[in-house]
Amino acid sequence: MTEQFDAVDIIRAQRDGRPITEGEIRWLVDAYTRGYVMDAQMSAFTMAVLLNGLGRDQIRVLTDAMIASGERMDFSSLGKVTVDKHSTGGVGDKITLPLAPLVASFGVAVPQLSGRGLGHTGGTLDKLESIPGWRAALSNDEIMAQLRDVGAVICAAGTGLAPADKKLYALRDVTGTVEAIPLIASSIMSKKIAEGTDSLVLDVKFGSGAFMQDIDRARELAETMVALGTDSGVNTTALLTDMNTPLGLAIGNANEVRESVEVLAGGGPADVVELTVALAREMLTLAGQPDADVEAALADGRAMDVWKRMIRAQDGDPDAALPTPRETHTVVADRSGVVTRVEALPFGIGAWRLGAGRARAEDAVVHAAGIDLHVTVGQAVTAGQPLFTLSADDETRFARALDAVDGAWEIGDTAPEASRLVRERITA
């Protein structure tokens, strides 16, 4: 077969800032997926994108080409409006767990195809696998049946969705090009658009524990993804949310499931409830229910009922005991005062070092490992009061985790000014 373009010509054009065409982009993605374009050539192209960027139309074409590399799901036969949520990830971000059943309790279908954690950001599937018997892998027929019967499904994305992205993501991870906004946006949105949902809400985080630490970069990413969804016919909005402080009090897997169940039972930490409610309102507004009383669905048990049905549908036991750690270590306040800072990233790294996360995709996680915070920013404490507890199955992990969080919290004399969790709403 005679190839339509030459990879080196495309690389040079992108390197030199000359516009590359729609045909060139589509050919490059297809040829790379087929194995004709080598990893070294695609590495050079992604670095050129990192340095010179891509225009909105070029990002749209790149995203569409990655979608075209695999299958597209179709939920039109459900007879329900579908709406999904994607988070760019953070420390203690367990929002998907209470959010999916909450939104589904209003008769909306929530197909939440999720991933696993890598590094300091936790994975939704890892958290749910703390529940005895629960399974992440479902066939497309099982996904459809569960959406029809229960209304919500949280499961692993099939290998058929945007396989070009899977190959390209692995390459970006080892070539220093993960930060390129056109590549991040096309990676996330190719999978979400291929998923076939009617509407999508993006939770784009900024701050210490987020992928994008700078709010302006996070805003640019959010605007790019909203544009991609809109251009592809998916009703898309985004919320910019603060990830300078861990979300909630639990960082890990089993402990984050416990905290999520507390929210579904009408309790839970105020910030987790606030963000769950904000995202649920956003999703339900896109689904045509702007006046839905989401707080009532948490308070009266409707969301909890859907949670239990969703877990049982995937062979899990929602009433079973969750894993508990063999070893714990509690850190206490060395003085009285007010908690002025709890920095997200070091605590995420600390939980990872305890075994709650993985350094490589093939690593296993320890479901009982993690960190439980006992205080929040702005809270008064007395000397000797517990600040946080480390949990692990091996006490030798505590030293490196304590090194990670050293200096990541502060006790002062005056409470800091409260910061808003949800900073901006971004629409097309």
User: Which residue among the candidates 186, 187, 190, 260 is catalytic per the annotation?
Assistant: 187
| Residue 167 annotated among the catalytic residues of the structure | no
Tokens 């367990």 correspond to: 94
| Residue 187 annotated among the catalytic residues of the structure | yes
| Residue 172 annotated among the catalytic residues of the structure | yes
CA distance 309 to 318: 9
CA distance 9 to 205: 37
User: Which residue among the candidates 120, 127, 166, 172 is catalytic per the annotation?
Assistant: 172
User: Which residue among the candidates 64, 84, 93, 165 is catalytic per the annotation?
Assistant: 165
> Over the chain, what HEC string results?
CCCCCCHHHHHHHHHCCCCCCHHHHHHHHHHHHHCCCCHHHHHHHHHHHHHHCCCHHHHHHHHHHHHHCCCCCCCHHHCCCEEEEEECCCCCCCCHHHHHHHHHCCCCEEEEEECCCECCECCHHHHHCCCCCCCCCCCHHHHHHHHHHCCEEEEECCCCCCHHHHHHHHHHHCCCCCCCHHHHHHHHHHHHHHHCCCEEEEEEEECCCCCECCHHHHHHHHHHHHHHHHHCCCEEEEEEEECCCCCCCEEECHHHHHHHHHHHCCCCCHHHHHHHHHHHHHHHHHCCCCCCCHHHHHHCCHHHHHHHHHHHHCCCCCCCCCCCCCEEEEEECCCCEEEEEECHHHHHHHHHHHHHCCCCCCCCCCCCCEEEECCCCCCEECCCCEEEEEEECCHHHHHHHHHHHCCCEEEECCCCCCCCCEEEEECC
| Residue 86 annotated among the catalytic residues of the structure | yes
Sort 239 into a burial class: Cβ within 10 Å, 0-12 / 13-18 / 19+.
Answer: buried
Side-chain-side CA neighbours of residue 337 (13 Å): 16
| Residue 34 annotated among the catalytic residues of the structure | no
User: Which residue among the candidates 94, 120, 191, 192 is catalytic per the annotation?
Assistant: 191
Token readout for 147 is: 């959406």
User: Which residue among the candidates 26, 60, 86, 358 is catalytic per the annotation?
Assistant: 86
- Residue 392 identity: A
Which are the catalytic amino acids? 86, 165, 172, 187, 191
